[in-house]
Amino acid sequence: MPGDALKDLADFIEEELEDAVSKYVFEKDELVVYTTAQNLDRVLHFLRDDKQTRFEVLVDITAVDYPERAERFEVVYTLLSLKQNHRIRLKLNAAEDTLIPTVTSIYSSAGWFEREVWDMYGIMFEGHPDLRRILTDYGFEGHPQRKDFPLTGYVELRYDEELKRVVYEPVKLTQDFRNFDYLSPWEGMTDVQLPGDEKATKPAHGWVPSKKGGHS
């Protein structure tokens, strides 16, 4: 159960930002506050500057992809207050074409975090001074953390001895993905005759016990 101090903090934030915060919940005893892209700047300025909150450290920005939703992305900001010894997660929903305002003017560390979210999910941060890929290569196609991104990717790279450089090529799988039925070797043996059983009757559908306890 969350402590009284965290509950009081949640009530205080909701009271002070009533029109900018849609709700708050406790997930695994951690405070999660929900807002919108339009209210993001206001909420973060308040959480950073108010003497009752003092969330002066931006720990991380990440996202979660829910393709079945109209607003498929959930953008998550993790904040830390060293003064009050509290952590908080701020969440907002975004569609593929939603422009999230950059918060680099509020937290300088947001620059790299927002680039990572753009690289992995394709979420746009309006006003970012240098929004480009940070983990994948410049010519990379797609955004790897999206649920609809193929496991194999679209291209593969190798070092070409003739060209003396790395080249990109379409993905070529040596074998297709295999589906496993998790049967043991004995359960999977059907219509098989083992060496030494040539004189026995070969069953049509695997081993079948006879009424006398032998093999049919």
Cβ 137 vs Cβ 116: under 8 Å: no
Domain assignment of residue 71, yes or no: yes
Q: Which structural domain range is residue 58 located in? A: 4-135
pLDDT at 157: 77
- Which among 20, 32, 36 has a CA at the least distance from the CA of 98? 36
- Name the amino acid, one letter, at 100: I
Domain assignment of residue 196, yes or no: no
Helix (H) or strand (E) segment spanning residue 10: helix 4-16
- Which among 122, 126, 182, 175 has a CA at the least distance from the CA of 149? 122
Q: Which ranges of the chain would DSSP assign to H, the alpha helix?
A: 4-16, 40-49, 110-121
CATH number at 74 reads 3.30.460.80
- Mean pLDDT per 10-residue interval, the chain, length 216 residues: 87 94 92 96 97 96 96 98 94 96 97 97 96 88 90 80 86 62 63 62 58 53
CA distance 69 to 135: 27
Could you tell me the pTM of the whole model? 0.75
Domain assignment of residue 200, yes or no: no
- Name the amino acid, one letter, at 46: F
pLDDT at 175: 57
The number of distinct structural domains making up the chain is 1
Domain assignment of residue 141, yes or no: no
